[in-house]
A and B are shown apart, each in its own frame.
Chain A
Amino acid sequence: MSTLTVPARAAPLRALASTDHKRVAIGAGAVAFAFFVAGGVLSLIMRSQLAADGGVISQDSYNQLFTMHGSTMVYLFVVPVGLAIGLYFVPLQVGAAEVAGPRVALAGLWLLVFGGLSMWAGFLTSGGAAAASWWGFDPLSDSLHSPGSGMELWIFGVVMATAGQMLWAGCVLVTALRRRAPQMTLLRMPVFTWSMLATCLLVVFAFPALIVALALLWAQRHFGGVLGGGLGAVDYQQLFWFYGHPVVYVMFFPFIGMVGEIVATFSGRRFFGHHAFILALLAFAGLSMTVWAHHMFTMGQATNKYFALTSTALVVPAGIEYLDLLGTLWRGRLRFSAAFLFALGFIVQFLVGGLTGIILASPPLDYGLNMSYFVVAHFHYTIFAGSAFGLFGGIYYWFPKLTGALLRERLGKLQFLLMAIGTNLTFFPMFVLGAEGMTRRIALYPTSTGWQPLNVLATFGALVIALSVLLFLINVWVSLRSREPAGDDPWQGQTLEWATSSPPPRHNFDALPPIRSFAPLLDAREAAQEATARARGDVAEGAPA
């Protein structure tokens, strides 16, 4: 088989053609982050429209923007960025020299790029981009109500991006299951790797439902009669939410895994309740496949009580995970790095999203709050105030491993402060607006509603978030231009990725340390400390009284 030779100086091309899992992951992460910035710009335009109460853009443009904002953030940013980090670190954490299926992983990157470009190309068509929300739900998305190629490009784009994510999930899953170092048993896999394993199981089992739903939608648009009959709209949503709820956990598990690693490292102690956490993750993953129709409570077409029961039962695994995170802080010796601050932000803010999720899992409350800004606030607290904070924590934590250079801590702490303020200013008012009856996905509202002040506040918060993201980009630029060398292990890490150079060589490890638990580097450090203490004790005992 011939190999493609890439000129050494063509770095971007190399990133798009390499089969090294680390390069594929960095490429995917960079592409996903670019889409995050693009989706963020859309949200700023929407926020200015809502603060000004109209006049900035037309209703039609607004509908395209919120559709593309949601689609970009879910399909092109949060899901791929979580999987990309898994693609980079799961092989390292299990002591593997390579990911399983490197070319398949590379194909995933290309599918993400083309999928994203296809979705965004809708803005160049005469009818504009897709405007049927990130659910693309029938019959609004059929050819009668959403004619034009924007919707077609959206379908193709989402299918491509989703197919790519399934390829990545397969690679990461097989790596964790089949490519572990000899001493790395399943129960010695670190928290992050376990969270990725749960994530990939969900991707593999749930994501095909989205591709089926979109294929049916495409056939409906071109031939009709597929989603017909009175309840075709319900059929589409059953399929969509069978993907659409597990994806919520695909956007959660990788980040709570990162937070777990960060909390353990900066507490200087072993992760608390490792086995219980793994069990909770798997229970969470299994249970999350059974809750999808809580998105359909107000349709009256599902057995609401069953889905209320399963959704509320998520309290159990979520509670265990929180207990383990707090337990890891217990008797820890804390170092308040930027990564640690972001992890704490995740813990507090995700809690708001989780608790309001339990509220929305109760149909009598959901009948009053569904489709309102209360829901918008709820899921932004989980995905942005939660997962995005976990992500930035992960970036501050692992950037030195990726590049060999540390990010600036002070800029990082400032970014955290701004982002925490901005996030709560943006999303907390939305709880109030929703409870007061503000529907989601509206481009205008009468001023007599009195919603404008809170909307202005939310828009101001969004600008603060934008500033914090800008600060992050500046931090990356500064840190790469004048490098503070990180060394192999700048944080006193506990897992195998810190036992190799930064960045790791193509084959990941020259030699592996002994692996006797899920924190092999901490084992070695503790053993060394004990040896020193014993030596000192021997000297003290041996000395004359």
Chain B
Amino acid sequence: MADSLHAYEHVRGIYFPIAIGVFAVIVAALLILLVRGARRRSAPGRKSDALAFELFYAVTLACVTVVLVAITFHAETPLDRTAAHPALRIEVTAAQWSWRLVYSNGASVTAVSTWHPTPAFVPTGEQVEFVGTSRDVIHGFWVPQLHFQRQLLPGYETRFDLRFDRPGRYGGECSVFCGNQHSEMHFALQAVSPARFQSWLNSQTAQPTAAAAVAARAGRSAQGLTAGRSAGRVGAAEAAG
């Protein structure tokens, strides 16, 4: 199960204390050396090499590296995997400067250059698959509360799974600088119980015209992603010429 929140907290719980501990040890050693060196009246020491000790130290550091990397790999593997049968699939389309989240039944939520986006609903405790792409430049789909982000590339589908254990509102931001109104490119997700989610989703599909339009647009974008990119390139060449 891709549980980014748990993975982040697990690795942070090991890495941060080690980092703080190493910092404290080195600064303490430095202070001791400074105090002793400031008081020293006799001639400075002459010993300037301790190759055996340095070798031992290097091996110790290599062991620390192995441990850290093992912890990281263990936590990362499930994060990079996507479930074969996700409970829900949401297609995300990012553009300068908007988000569009489309559900498999055609329901959609859009947020255009806003600090206060209308939330898209997701069920709690279930694996939700996101399939993201961009219509223009690189954007970043970042949910800070889940400690997870993925970049959405033009003409390419990025897939990732997220799980929302706690009910409530999850803010989302574009993390990759994407031009003029990058600061304002926000989205929001509202995690509710699966039952409430289902009734919300059903209420969204009660607008057939909008749903049809979205479905048509989604279909077109799925087929024409690469075409859209090369069309952009033609436009670029024309603009330059």
Contacts and interface: CB of A to CB of B under 8 A. Distances in A.
A304 to B, nearest CB: 7
A147 B223 CA distance: 28
A140 B179 contact: yes
Contact of A334 (B26, B40, B47, B239): B40
A330 B46 CA distance: 10
B50 interface: yes
A273 B49 contact: yes
Contacts of A267: 37, 44
A352 B140 CA distance: 27
A367 B148 contact: yes
Contacts of A225: 233, 237
Contacts of B137: 139-140, 145, 233
Contact of B147 (A229, A324, A332, A367): A367
A140 B97 CA distance: 13
B236 to A, nearest CB: 4
Contacts of B80: 300, 304, 363
A16 interface: no
B232 to A, nearest CB: 6
A271 interface: yes
Contact of B19 (A63, A223, A358): A358
Interface stretch (A96-104, A108-116, A198-206, A441-449): A441-449
Interface in B18-38: 19, 22-23, 26-27, 29-30, 33-34, 37-38
B69 A308 contact: yes
Given A304-B80, A367-B148, A330 B158 contact: no
A485 B46 CA distance: 31
Contact of A300 (B115, B151, B176): B151
Contacts of B10: 364
B237 A224 contact: yes
A347 B30 CA distance: 9
A334 B156 contact: no
Question: In this complex, which of B72, B136, B154, B171 has the most chain A Cβ atoms within 10 angstroms of its Cβ?
Answer: B72
A316 interface: yes
Contacts of B57: 319-320, 323
A315 B60 CA distance: 10
A133 interface: yes
A301 to B, nearest CB: 8
Contacts of A347: 30
Interface residues on B, range: 35 or more
Contact of A442 (B69, B79, B171, B182): B182
A331 B47 contact: yes
Given A308-B69, A312-B65, A316-B58, A442 B11 contact: no
Nearest to B22: A355
B219 interface: no
Interface string B86-109: 000000000010000000000000
Contact of A315 (B65, B138, B229, B233): B65
Contact of B45 (A60, A222, A269, A362): A269
B177 A140 contact: yes
Contacts of B123: none
B184 interface: yes
A10 interface: no
Contact of B54 (A276, A300, A301, A313): A276
A505 interface: no
Contact of A439 (B34, B142, B158): B142
Given A139-B136, A365-B8, A372 B175 contact: yes
B54 A320 contact: yes
A329 B140 contact: no
B221 interface: no
Given A224-B240, A332-B37, A439-B173, 14 more contacts: A231-B156, A269-B48, A272-B50, A276-B49, A299-B153, A319-B61, A324-B54, A326-B26, A331-B45, A351-B26, A362-B72, A364-B72, A368-B147, A372-B175
16 contacts: A59-B181, A143-B239, A221-B240, A224-B233, A231-B153, A233-B137, A313-B65, A316-B62, A319-B58, A322-B26, A332-B44, A359-B15, A364-B10, A365-B15, A371-B149, A437-B173
Interface of A: 59-60, 63, 131-133, 137, 139-140, 142-145, 147, 220-225, 228-231, 233-234, 267-276, 298-301, 304-305, 308-309, 312-313, 315-316, 319-320, 322-324, 326-327, 329-334, 336, 344, 347-348, 351-352, 355-356, 358-359, 362-365, 367-372, 436-437, 439-446, 526, 529
User: 10 tightest A-B contacts by CB?
Assistant: A368-B147, A331-B45, A437-B144, A334-B37, A230-B155, A269-B44, A371-B175, A224-B237, A442-B183, A270-B48
